[in-house]
Structure 1
Amino acid sequence: MAEEQLVTFSLGSEEFGVDIMRVQEIIRIPPITRVPKASEYVEGVINLRGNVIPVISLRTRFGMPRVEETDLSRIIVLQVQNKVFGIRVDAVTEVLRLDSEGIEPPPPISLGMDAQFIRGVGKIEERLLILLDLDHIMGGETNNDVCA
């Protein structure tokens, strides 16, 4: 039976998962430098051991209201299609294994988010976990964007 290993995190009351193989590290939120004319969901850039990495606000990307940073807020540093970027999340919850049989295709009405961001819904006992399609989180950028 095939299984996936996921890093799970929360945005408000929703729980999401990303493939652990794409996660480079999870860090506390350092100072973020704003970038002029970047997309609204690009919070800015951070310096991570000498590398400048763009940071995406998943709340903004998904049309959710902004919230104040807490002690649990984190940036998950990802590598997707040879791009390294961070996603800002409310809290990282756990690392877990999920049987492929427990993953359903995304529902036709995509939970109020763009369907392109969702690759499936994982069922873990009574919990539902929205599995993100990371290839589209940064997709469709124009050349003048910080993340292009």
Structure 2
Amino acid sequence: MTRTQQDPFELLRKMQQESLENAPGLPQEIEATKLWSGVGFRIGDMMLVTPLDHVLEILPPPPATLVPGVKSWLKGVANVRGNLITIVDLPEYFGKPPVFLDEKARMLIMNVPGLNAGVLVNEVLGLRHFDEELERQDLSGLDDPVVVQLNGAFLRDNVLWGVFDMKSLAESDSFRHVAA
């Protein structure tokens, strides 16, 4: 019995070819929908969402110390973990009834450099995720003072969620000038 001598490289090429022919295919690539995420909240009957990086913290409204000579929507200041935070009633700022401080009311501490402020909202609705393709930019049909702070909106389950821009609010003159 004689063995035939095979070239080792030829043997490796043959093994590679057999492996390629018998290898299972790669899974099909499916492009996932791009999601936009933000913190959902309510002021009055309006559903809003703000980008995650616009909010540092969410907490129940702390006891506030009143500040004399300011507009009614500035509810005072509070010590939150050693930081003096200005508390603004967001619905009242926009001319709506003020936040009723019940178990649903929350304060969103704004993530704006150089500004230690928190806004009171009627309710925080948690994280909200939206398909970026369902974004709706035209808000001309909305007749609400909040619209000036919106950067578009998302429509989901027949609910329009306005994209609220905390940084734009913080830069507005009416928000910065609180003297009565």
Please report the TM-score for the alignment, with normalisation by the length of structure 1.
Answer: 0.84
Change in CA separation of 1:113 and 1:93 when aligned onto 2, cut-off 3 Å: same
Q: List alignment gaps of at least 5 residues for structure 2.
A: 1-32
1:125 equivalent in alignment to 2:157: yes
| More helix as a share of residues | 2
**Map of 1:100 onto structure 2:** 132
SS at 1:83 equivalent: coil
Give the CA RMSD over aligned residues: 2.2
Instruction: Identify the range of structure 1 (134-143 vs 3-12) with the bigger mean alpha-carbon deviation.
Output: 134-143
**Map of 1:90 onto structure 2:** 122
Amino acid across the alignment from 1:105:
Q
**Map of 2:16 onto structure 1:** none
- Answer whether contact 1:17 1:132 (CA < 8 A) is retained: yes
Structure number with higher relative contact order (C-alpha < 8 Å, ≥ 6 residues apart): 1
Change in CA separation of 1:99 and 1:82 when aligned onto 2, cut-off 3 Å: farther
Matches within 5 A, 1:16-31: 16-31=48-63
**Map of 2:173 onto structure 1:** 140
Between the aligned partners of 2:174 and 2:99, the Cα distance in structure 1 is 25
Matches within 5 A, 1:13-52: 13-52=45-84
Q: List alignment gaps of at least 5 residues for structure 1.
A: none
- Answer whether contact 1:25 1:77 (CA < 8 A) is retained: yes
1:5 equivalent in alignment to 2:43: no
Amino acid across the alignment from 2:173:
G
| More strand as a share of residues | 1
**Map of 2:107 onto structure 1:** 75
Aligned length: 146
SS at 1:60 equivalent: helix
Change in CA separation of 1:106 and 1:132 when aligned onto 2, cut-off 3 Å: farther
Change in CA separation of 1:14 and 1:114 when aligned onto 2, cut-off 3 Å: closer
Change in CA separation of 1:143 and 1:80 when aligned onto 2, cut-off 3 Å: closer
Between the aligned partners of 2:63 and 2:149, the Cα distance in structure 1 is 27
Offset, 1:119: 1.3
- Answer whether contact 1:12 1:90 (CA < 8 A) is retained: yes
Deviations 1:39-97 (A, max 9, x none): 33221111101100111111111110124211111101111244231110111112022
SS at 1:120 equivalent: strand
Change in CA separation of 1:78 and 1:67 when aligned onto 2, cut-off 3 Å: closer
State percent identity of aligned pairs: 23
